[in-house]
Amino acid sequence: MNYINIALPKGRLGDKAVELFEAIGIDCEEIKNSSRKLIFTDEKNMIRLFLVKPTDVPTYVEYGAADIGIAGRDTLLEEGRNLYEILNLRYGNCKMVLAGPAELKDKFDKLANKRVATKYPRIAREYFEHRRKESVEIIKLNGSVELAPLVGLSELIVDLVESGRTLKENNLVIYDVIEDISARLVVNRASMKMKSERIQWIIDELRKNIDMQIGSQY
Amino acid sequence: MPKWKIYTPDGVQDILFDECYIKKNIEAELRELFRRCGYFEIETPILEFFDTFTVDEESTPQESMFKFFDQQGRILVLRPDLTIPVARVAASKLKDAQYPLRISYIGNTFRYNESGGGRQKEFTQAGIELLGEVTPESDAEVISIAVNAVKTCGLNDFQIDIGHVGFFKGLMEEAGLCEQDMAQMRILIERKDFIGIEEIISKRDISSHIKKLIFNMPRLSGGIDVIDRVRKILKGPKTLEALDYLEELLKILEDYGLNDYVSIDLGMVQSLNYYTGIIFRGFTHGVGFPILSGGRYDNLIEKFGLRLPATGFSLGVNLVMNALERQQKCMDKPHVDSLIYYEKEGRKVAFEICRQLRAQGLVIQMDITMAGKERVKAYARSMGIGGIIGVLDEDLIEIHNLETNEIKRVSRSELLK
């Protein structure tokens, strides 16, 4: 029997994913105790887990190097990979938004040329081209995107917002919500066919588990 | 200045001995299979007019094509696909052909935006097109050849999923979704994005049983029982027609003895503008992408001026090679059976011996270094050649077994026996 390979994102999203897999009976002891190893194996269930940079998860899954992956919806949209997005894991919730200075809120539509600073150039471009039907200048940044409108690098930003506090502190407001973001379970297209029974089992178990957890919050 | 001269551009690569040997063997076996099935090969140019490929913007968007200009300023492309050139030929040079017309091809195609994992910007496609028939028997023939093509390549563990675009279109009509919703729904179902699907259908006024069916569409895969299950719920003529067709097709494939390789996937919804009937894709272990795809495209050739139904498939030869490698299949590799060196007195005889051994099917290299026996031996050992033949003069021939270091003297007639 072949292994089922699972790519997990390093960091917060991955820690929570480990909890989820543990809850459905996959042995994750190794992953919690070791920091140097790259691949962790649950021989009993024939499952292999590996930790990768969050933005690389869709790549591993699309190529089939991983059968299953966990990634934020933001990463999936930005990478635009061809894979199955099967399950909303309902954690890591936030929003992808278009934002800018409060005083520009009612006027920004009239700007002849808009400059948009973002860590997500693809999402920003798709949003403007497809939903707003206009061309914009995208300025790709790697962090502190909120700074851009304050120092005149751009008029607008497209960014992830969790509580909205950073925006508020910098006198920025949300103009439009582009997407609701949360962690998703993705599956390689060929694996879904070739290893369907075992993958379906993982999906069903995770789904049950999440429904139970979310349900218990009420 | 010429700083790129030793590199190849992104997405194209050299294919060297072992790999090339395997690739050409695969192509030869596919060619043989297609011929035995009565499909005859055509070659179309690697260069085509851009206009030719604008008939199908969905599967070949302009940004996916390599473009340049001819001397008159017209836009040319490197062909991104081989079905469209076949359709062009069918509607022009072959418009008076006898139908059904069976065509095959093996050739390289070019696309930008291809991601890695075995997908290069230049890749080889092998496929067939069956023109002029609308019967399920013709679709079944194409699928049966697709199965045999994969087996011929040496892959045994694979699966071909069959769907029908009429099912999705009919279902959307029954649900009363607008064109825009339909386009979006197609992408969501293709991605098995249950979250997105739910979002759309929950906002629309759709009867609950259809809602449930749409939501479950990505999961509607399996054997003939899937068809029975869905048929109980649906009333629309288009969806029922699609299901009847699929059922008939499956029955024919059962008689072909292909049950183990094919299954139904009603959630398959790619390239809806291109395909008009059944669609199918093949998957195997070790490659994250479909290794083959195909289906019925009754409206394509009409765009070149001839109304002609058609069905076909194409197989990604490079993807198949990836799968063979990942599945660690043992493949034939290039090898040399023997190497002949000679003294001047034996030259003529050496050439004659070489000719006869090659005619017997052996792979023979001739020594052209004239550097002496020891050098020849060292070279042969490093090449993994098991034995060499020395022709010292017309009658004196030495066979050196390089594994046992034995030397045997033989006459010419003994050697060629």
Convert the pLDDT of each residue in A92-112 to its tens digit.
Answer: 999 999 999 999 988 888 888
Range of the structural domain that residue A12 is part of:
4-92+182-216
Total count of domains within chain B: 2
Answer yes or no: is pLDDT of A196 > 60. yes
Identity of residue B201: I
pLDDT of amino acid B18: 93
B289 touches chain A (CB under 8 A): yes
Please give the C-alpha separations between residue B217 and each of B15, B227, B241, B367, in angstroms, as whole numbers.
41, 12, 17, 66
A88 and A8 part of one domain: yes
Backbone phi, psi, residue A51, to 5°: -100, 130
Instruction: Judge whether B3 lies within some domain.
Output: no
- How many domains does chain A divide into? 2
pLDDT of residue B60: 83
Q: Is residue B4 part of a domain?
A: no
- Give the pLDDT of residue A217: 40
Is B195–A85 a contact, with Cβ atoms under 8 angstroms apart?
Answer: yes
A88 lies in the same domain as A99: no
Q: Chain A: give the shortest CA distance to residue B284, in Å.
A: 6
Boundary-marking domain end, from B295, B326, B357: B326
> Domain of B26: which CATH number?
3.30.930.10
- Residue A56's pLDDT band, with cuts at 50, 70 and 90, is very high
* A46 and A154, same domain (yes or no): no
Interchain proximity B287–A192, CB inside 8 Å: no
B320 exposed, middle or buried (CB, 10 Å; 0-12, 13-18, 19+)? buried
- Contact call for residues A69 and A54 (beta carbons, < 8 A): no
Chain B residues closer than 8 Å to A84 by CB: 191-193, 218
- Distance CA(A69)–CA(A59), nearest Å, equals 10
Residue B321 included in any domain: yes
Candidate from B115, B195, B288 with C-beta closest to A189: B288
Residue B333 lies in a domain: no
Whether A84 and chain B come into contact, CB under 8 Å, resolves to yes
**Tokens coding B155:** 């892959």
pLDDT at A162: 92
B161 and B133 housed in the same domain: yes
Please tell me whether residues B218 and B305 are part of one structural domain: yes
Query: In terms of residue numbers, what domain contains B231?
Result: 17-326
| B162-220 confidence digits (pLDDT tens) | 999 999 988 888 888 888 888 888 888 888 887 788 888 888 888 888 888 888 887 88
Residue B1 forms part of a structural domain: no
Residues A174 and A111 grouped into a single domain: yes
Task: Check pLDDT > 80 for residue A60.
Answer: yes
A31 CB-near residues (< 8 Å, 6+ apart): A8, A18, A40, A49, A51
B285 shares a domain with B148:
yes
Quick check: is B331 in a domain?
A: no
Contact A85 B116 (CB under 8 A): no
Judge if pTM exceeds 0.90: no
pLDDT, chain A, mean: 90
A76 shares a domain with A43:
yes
Of the candidates B192, B195, B290, which has its C-beta nearest A88's C-beta? B195
Q: In terms of domains, do A109 and A170 share one?
A: yes
Are both B87 and B182 inside the same structural domain? yes
CB atoms B285 and A189 under 8 Å: no
The answer for residues whose C-beta is within 8 angstroms of residue B77's C-beta and 6 or more apart is B47, B48, B49, B50, B52, B53, B65, B66, B67
Counting as low any pLDDT under 50, the low residues of chain B are none
Q: Nearest residue of A to residue B319 by CA position?
A: A63
CB of A156 within 8 A of CB of A134? no
The verdict on A88 and A188 lying in the same domain is yes
Buried b (16+ CB within 10 A) or exposed e, B274-294: bbbbbbbbbbbbbbbbbbbbb
B153 within a domain of the structure (yes/no): yes
Q: Do B159 and A64 touch (CB under 8 A)?
A: no
Looking at the fold, whether A148 and A134 belong to one and the same domain comes out as: yes
Question: Which chain A residues in 28-67 lie under 8 Å from chain B, judged by CB atoms?
Answer: 61-65
SS3 B328: coil
Residues in chain A within 8 Å Cβ distance of B191: 82-85
**Is the pLDDT reported for residue A218 higher than 50?**
no
For residue A63, the domain's CATH number is 3.40.190.10
Confidence of residue A50 (pLDDT cuts 50, 70, 90): very high
B90 min Cα distance to partner chain A (Å) = 33
φ/ψ (deg, to 5) at B335: -150, 160
The answer to whether the complex's ipTM is over 0.95 is no
Q: Which pLDDT score is estimated for B342? A: 95
Q: Which among B300, B303, B253 has a CA at the least distance from the CA of B274? A: B300
Decide if A87 touches B, using CB distance below 8 A: yes
